[in-house]
Amino acid sequence: MDFSLTPEHEMVVRMVRDFAEKEVAPYIKEYDRAHKPFVRAIERMAELGIMGICIPVRYGGQGMDYISLGLACEELERVDTFLRVVMSVHVGLNSLGLLQWGTEEQKQRFLVPQARGERWAAFGLTEPGAGSDVAAMAATARREGDSYILNGEKMWISLASMAHNFLVFARTDPKAPPHQGITAFIVERETKGITTGDIHGKLGVRAGSTGWIAMNDVEVPAENRLGEEGEGFKIAMSCLDNGRYTIGAGATGLIRACLEASAKYAHERRTFGRPIAEHQLVQQMIARMRRDYEIGRLLYLRAGWLKNQGIRNTWQTSLAKWFATEASFAAASDAIQIHGAYGYSDEYDVERFLRNAKGACIYEGTSQIHELIQAQYVLGYRQDRPLRCELPAYDPEEWQREA
Amino acid sequence: MSNDIFVWIEQFNGQVAGPSWEAIGAARTLSQTLGGQVCACIFGQGVEALAKDAIAYGADKVFLADDPTLADFRLEPYTALMAELARQHQPALILMGATARGRDLGPAVAVDLETGCVADCTALEFQDGQLVATRPIYAGKLLCTCTVPERRPAVFTLRSRAFPKPEPDPSRTGEIIQVAPILKEEDIPSKVTGFQETVGGVNLADAAIIVSGGRGVGGPEGFEPIRELARTLKAAVGASRAAVDAGWIPYEHQVGQTGKTVSPDLYIACGISGAIQHQAGMRTSKVIVAINKDPEAPIFQLARYGIVGDLFKYVPALAEELKKRLGA
Amino acid sequence: MHIVVCTKQTPDSAAKLTVDAAGNVSWGDSPIVINPWDEYAVEEALLIKERLGGNARVTVISMGPEAALEALKHAIAMGADEGIRIWDPIFEGSDTLATSYVLAKAIEKMGDVDLVLFGKSAIDSQTGQIPVEVAYRLGFSPLTYVIKIAELDPAGKTIIAERLLEQGRQVVKAPLPAVVGTIKGINEPRYPSFMGIRKATRAQYPVWSATDIGADPAKVGAAGSGVRWTRIFSPPTREGKAEIIQAETVEETVRILVDKLMAEKVI
């Protein structure tokens, strides 16, 4: 067993950190306060290749491994959650879904521009009436000749109003149970019948973009269907294995942000004649943050390692996501406590950390869903079955081959 | 070897750089221990008048080279002449200001003479017969002491405003020796083809008072009250890296680790939290005043006086009060 | 065109430094990074190479022990072509006089160098003397504090540079080969690319010893140095916290402040 990062990983970490610290950290408060999407930051992530970090070079990506993806997410969310959300939907939920399930032709057409950051990607699973309960999905896709006609609405979709490509799920067989009747489609924004909009008044991730997609008789050519008809549920679940991985890694970065801010402030602030760092109850909160950061990191790195090996990691990823998101919320809350009244104001970052932490306890499986998943695996109510297409194991040579 | 001390007098368009007189002052002090003469070296064109000033400030002797080839500061002719004078007269020490030009000339002369050059000294004193220089390292987070134990002359460049500027005494007398340049124009490869002077700027390194703005000024227009206060105090305008990186004010104004290092009598930090990198550039200021909304900002650990509050209220009020008091 | 960039490794600029009684400086678990000023020099070299349509080679060198690899790796990851470490145990204890000698010997050995780029200074020892000393030793045009390379003519072997001095910008035309000391503002250094990172971690970094560069042992290390560092220590800490001035009104507060500043004789 080897717990050390490779020199490559270390350089990736430094590069992503430098970007986030130089180009995002100085301005994030301004965007967050104004509820203004920080578009320039996303464009820069695209230019720098971060949005194609773990996609093979021949598909327009940078050819790094899945661990690099996790490390990048940790660094990004350490500065602000919205950066990591972009990675979750663009890379985790969408691009890796194409890498896993797409035909060669689909990869060339859709994955290449996405990995290059030329076209941004979103993931359309959740609906106004269907979140964790996928069976309640109302969107439909009707086969008509060489096309499908899509109708319905998707809600709480990150990058809804900005993405160019959507991976959308709809029922092709309304009578079949969800794990058989749902199909996945790659839908381009330019398609007739697509409208999108933003959701306002969010608690957190205010520099990001979250919205809805409405599909009104949207005609999608059959070659845009990802996987087989009726395979959508499995595809969605496998995409979540990757999305949740980025969230777990990101939330770990958020814990680190809380830890760093708290340690710094604890040295600066004095009460009762000494720095609050010397008060034991403050030390306790800091110790817990350190503990949770280390656990979160070990959990997501293990999930990343499993992905690199090509081993299914559904429960390990779920555990990483569940643990780190809940722990990040607790860390942010304690960070505010350590900052006292100042932490309650937006002069400091920690109140933003708390607002940003909450969302990830809800999306891509609420904490409650993840608790159930963990129990069900232990109790034998749930087990992994081989998929028709597995996420490919990381093979450096294969990933870095030019064509 | 003599016990003389050479001081290079830096001038630009006939104006002597502040640190040069400070270096003369330092040389005077050192010569009390060393016993030799303080020799000013003045190079340029049409700079004869400066020789008397140098004597008034404390030089015993002036080597004056007045020649068209020396009109602009260029390293080749200046180094050749300085090194040649040193070879002829064998001074114990060569001092100059740690300005842009001084920090070029000092080491170039040192290489020519195969001797040591200590950069950017903030203090000089004799200990056991050896001249010990103190200088900041790691952006002023640490200090070190250096000596040039064997080689002579030893070259030292002196940080701006680290040494007191002596009072000129016009009654002092001294010897002025005309010297000729070493290089002819055709032997000097680099040509100065232009100079764009910074307009309306007060040189941060020379400024006795600096008013600086940081992230708290909020935008380019937020520097207006800062500039107004600076005008009232005849001060230079500084800025933190945050303000420069945000594009609110040009880089020339940046104080700190990646900007200028300053040491004014008074430094007024407005809306600057005082990150360690900023402190590195201004911590040696004599009196620091901080105006910041955040009472926990690290700048208050460094400042002598602090006002906790909105800079947009206090900075204009301070300018008003000063106008009244200074009769401006 | 062959461009050499001289780099150094330093502790991260945000590092908290401590120094023990023996004068050993430590920076906790802060990483060793490329000297931040050197990133401008690397970037400028890459920009020149791009302007020349790739018709240039960028070699990065660093004089230092194993840790100097960090600086070389970063430069390669940004896009430099090759990295060479210059090291020999006898280089230990070199001041700028000796260091500039070693660097000049290494550059001389390459033989075909047109341009040598430096960062303004190293953020640790912060002398800023090396660029001019190397230029002087090699007889290259010495161009320091360069904020803009206005013109570079490899065929005509000339360079026009704008140098930022205290009073403004001096424009200098000089022959190549030249040494250019860059300052912040000359460009915006790029981040390493992922492809560059892979290249940097897999590249071979030859080490040139004193013998390799033909250095005279009497001119390197402590023997070849003019300056000796005798002590390193923390600056005296400023006395405690600021005296916070707070009166009933804004006007009263600033009046008290002005009183105090006048009493201090700083205005």
The model carries a pTM of 0.91
Query: B195-236, pLDDT tens digit by residue?
Result: 988 765 667 888 899 999 999 999 999 999 999 999 999 999
Residues of chain B with Cβ-Cβ distance to A26 below 8 Å are 215, 242, 245-246
Alpha-carbon span A18 to A25, nearest angstrom: 10
Tally of structural domains, chain A: 3
Q: Domain for residue A175, yes or no?
A: yes
Is the same domain home to A174 and A270?
no
Chains contacting C (3+ CB pairs below 8 angstroms): A, B
A338 has a pLDDT exceeding 90:
yes
Chains contacting B (3+ CB pairs below 8 angstroms): A, C
Q: Domain for residue A217, yes or no?
A: yes
A289–chain B nearest CA distance, Å: 23
Is the same domain home to A79 and A140?
no
Alpha-carbon span B283 to B261, nearest angstrom: 9
Q: For chain B, which domains are there?
A: 5-187 (3.40.50.620), 209-326 (3.40.50.1220)
Chains contacting A (3+ CB pairs below 8 angstroms): B, C
Alpha-carbon span A263 to A268, nearest angstrom: 9
A144 has a pLDDT exceeding 70:
yes
Q: Domain for residue C150, yes or no?
A: yes
Q: Domain for residue A2, yes or no?
A: no
Q: Do B104 and C132 touch (CB under 8 A)?
A: yes
The residues of A assigned a catalytic role are 364
Q: Domain for residue A399, yes or no?
A: no
Alpha-carbon span B51 to B28, nearest angstrom: 16
Can you tell me whether residue C93 is helix, strand or coil?
coil
B309 Cβ under 8 Å from any chain A Cβ = no
A59–chain B nearest CA distance, Å: 36
Residue written as token pair 């803009």:
C148
Is the same domain home to A249 and A341?
yes
B242 Cβ under 8 Å from any chain A Cβ = yes
Residues of chain A with Cβ-Cβ distance to B298 below 8 Å are 268
pLDDT confidence of residue C240: 67
Tally of structural domains, chain C: 1
Q: Do B242 and A26 touch (CB under 8 A)?
A: yes
User: Of the residues A120, A137, A160, which one is the last residue of a structural domain?
Assistant: A120
E strand or H helix that includes residue C33: strand C32-34
* Cβ-based contacts under 8 A for chains B and C: 260
Q: Dihedral sign, CA of B64, B68, B72, B78? A: negative
User: Of the residues A231, A264, A295, which one is the last residue of a structural domain?
Assistant: A231
Amino acid at B75: L
pLDDT in 10s for each residue of chain B, 328 residues: 899 999 999 999 999 998 999 999 999 999 999 999 999 999 999 999 999 999 999 999 999 999 999 999 999 999 999 999 999 999 999 999 999 999 999 999 999 999 999 999 999 999 998 999 999 998 888 999 999 999 999 999 999 999 999 999 999 999 999 999 999 999 999 999 999 887 656 678 888 999 999 999 999 999 999 999 999 999 999 999 989 888 899 888 999 888 888 989 999 999 999 988 898 889 889 999 999 998 888 899 889 999 999 999 999 999 999 999 887 5
Query: A233-273, pLDDT tens digit by residue?
Result: 999 999 999 999 999 999 999 999 999 999 999 998 888 88
Residue written as token pair 């607790």:
A330
Q: Domain for residue A290, yes or no?
A: yes
Q: Spell B48-58 as b/e; 16+ CB within 10 A means b.
A: eebbbbbbbbb
Domain limits at A351?
A: 234-394
Query: A295-335, pLDDT tens digit by residue?
Result: 999 999 999 999 999 999 999 999 999 999 999 999 999 99
Amino acid at A55: I
A27 Cβ under 8 Å from any chain B Cβ = yes
**Which residue, among B157, B17, B7, has the nearest Cα to B92 in the 3D structure?**
B7
Residues of chain C with Cβ-Cβ distance to A12 below 8 Å are 194, 197
Is the same domain home to A33 and A136?
no
Q: Dihedral sign, CA of A266, C25, B300, B298? A: negative
Contact (CB, 8 A) for A394 and A308: yes
C16 Cβ under 8 Å from any chain A Cβ = no
Please work out, in degrees rounded to the nearest 5, the angle formed at the alpha carbon of residue C130 by the alpha carbons of C125 and C135. 175
Alpha-carbon span B117 to C17, nearest angstrom: 26
**Count of CB atoms within 10 A of residue B293's CB?**
14
CATH code for position C163: 3.40.50.620
Q: Do C194 and A62 touch (CB under 8 A)?
A: yes
User: Of the residues A72, A102, A120, which one is the last residue of a structural domain?
Assistant: A120
- Phi, psi for A81 (deg, rounded to 5): -60, -35
Residue A48 tokens read as: 């720098």
A60 Cβ under 8 Å from any chain C Cβ = no
Please state whether the peptide bond connecting residue B153 to the residue before it is cis, i.e. omega within 30 degrees of 0.
Answer: yes
A26 Cβ under 8 Å from any chain B Cβ = yes
Amino acid at C33: V
Pairing of strands A270-271, C178-182: unpaired
Residues of chain B with Cβ-Cβ distance to C143 below 8 Å are 190
Q: Domain for residue C258, yes or no?
A: no
- pLDDT range class, residue C239, cuts 50, 70, 90: low
Is the same domain home to A209 and A73?
no
Q: Of C19, C160, C227, C230, which to mutate for an interface test with B (greatest number of B Cβ within 10 Å)?
A: C227
Q: Do B245 and A26 touch (CB under 8 A)?
A: yes
Contact (CB, 8 A) for B11 and B93: no
Can you tell me whether residue B312 is helix, strand or coil?
helix
Domain limits at C220?
A: 2-224
**Which residue, among A216, A196, A200, has the nearest Cα to A208 in the 3D structure?**
A200
**Which residue, among B23, B16, B2, B22, has the nearest Cα to B44 in the 3D structure?**
B16
Residues with Cβ within 8 Å of residue C116, at least 6 apart in sequence:
C3, C4, C5, C6, C107, C131, C134, C135, C138, C140, C177, C178, C179, C180
C75 Cβ under 8 Å from any chain B Cβ = no
Residues with Cβ within 8 Å of residue B74, at least 6 apart in sequence:
B188, B190, B192, C172
C82–chain B nearest CA distance, Å: 27
Nearest by CB: C250 against B154, B193, B313: B313
Q: CA dist B160 to B119, B182, C239, Å?
A: 12, 29, 24
Q: CA dist B198 to A29, B44, C166, C170, Å?
A: 34, 21, 9, 11
Separation of CA B125 from chain center: 19
B246 Cβ under 8 Å from any chain A Cβ = yes
Q: Do B293 and A347 touch (CB under 8 A)?
A: yes
**ipTM here:** 0.93
CATH code for position A180: 2.40.110.10
